[in-house]
Structure 1
Amino acid sequence: MTAAGLPAGQSWSIGAVLARLKPDFPEVTISKIRFLETEGLITPERTPAGYRQFSPADIERLRFVLTAQRDHYLPLKVIKDQLDARSRGLEPATPSPRLPRSLGIAIGPDTTEVGVDTHLRMTRVELLAASGLTTEQLRDVESFGLVSIGAGGWYGAEAAQIAAAAAELFAAGLEARHLRPLRTAADREAAMISQMVSAQARQKDPDARERAEAMAAQLAGTVLRLHATLVRAGLRRDLSG
């Protein structure tokens, strides 16, 4: 048995690998696995007929990659460097679990804070209890388009993160109307990034969407770092004056 509990010497098809990964990584697809192979993060063997055959080591690498993306938002280049270090017997330093809290909310759901996976479903009562918002505050946040109820009448993890952040800002004295510019700025940044990767996403090959999503994630991280730096610079300027 391998460290992951897989029989040594056995191999699996891409469909079987997908079935093994789905319970822990519901958003993984065959296209995603092929994309990671194209990027050199995994190198499955091929049968004489050209079909991929994944070893236990390939599956462990896939789990490492998917976990690093989901839990730490690491770019593929960093993940590849870590895999290369592991293959040479080194143990790369564990990255900080997610970005600083102020940026984690903007990037996406931080499951270490909400205590659930990214497929969280919450009722309105549960969202109010988890976030600390009052009924009136949640109504205001919804009216400004920051939080919306999803399909089936549930609130998702992103809604929980936004609601929790809004509650902190309200406690500091901010009003709901002050959040509207934040939503407008976020929409503009998202539109800008979408436009930047649109040509990549329209390409015909099956991995185009995965490459576009990876590129968008990296650009989003860059935009957020720039945004945070500009905010810090502005605070220093205002508070020192």
Structure 2
Amino acid sequence: MVQTPSGGAGHGAAAAGAGLMSIGAVLNVLREEFPEVTISKIRFLESEGLIEPRRTPSGYRKFSAADVERLGHVLRMQRDHYLPLKVIREHLDAVERGEAVRLPAVGRPRDGEPVLQDPAEEAPAVARIGRGELLAAAGIDERTLAEWESYGLLAPDADGAYDAEAVTVAGLVTELGRFGIGPRHLRAMKAAAEREAGLVDQVVAPLKRHRNPQTRAHAEARTKELAGLTVKLHAALLQAALGVRLP
């Protein structure tokens, strides 16, 4: 469970506003369980209606303990159940109304177990966002986005929409830019990621082509598992090359 900075219920919560946190404080709390979460991701989840933080007169976001707890639930359901945001929002809203509901899919397979999903159902669709939503969530302008696209860091699909992960990519590109690492320097990372994706796709391609929807859902889960292992290996190799311990 996501813990608030107070470390326990009631500690300092009686004071007016004591339970409210800035977006930076929320990020620090969430990263204990979700190290890859970014401010851009939190803003995007807000734009999708998953949370509604308070606003100060000057427009700054202020999050309650309930907001942080809800964010934790959202991130956990994305990570463990691979659910699209629409399904997560409907599920949490139903829970808050006191309705007895269950998740439409249960977790990642263990040791070759199939995904517990109705065979008649397709795997959940990937959440997408429009260009305007991406600009707003990432806090960038049209010119910046066009530059990143020219280097292949982001790309819309045939309908002009982006995968929700584009918000995370945009946030990381922005953070690296603060250190003088521009889009042109990141082309090598993009090329390496595409090669790794090709390797993973070779492994799961037979499952993706299967006619059974449950098998195809298993392919998606296996893809995520392999991607996670690839990311961990990349981090370990980078850590060894630099001779430092990464957080």
- For normalisation by structure 2, the TM-score amounts to 0.47
Choose 1 or 2 for highest CA Rg.
1
TM-score, structure 1 as length reference = 0.48
Structure with greater helix share of residues: 1
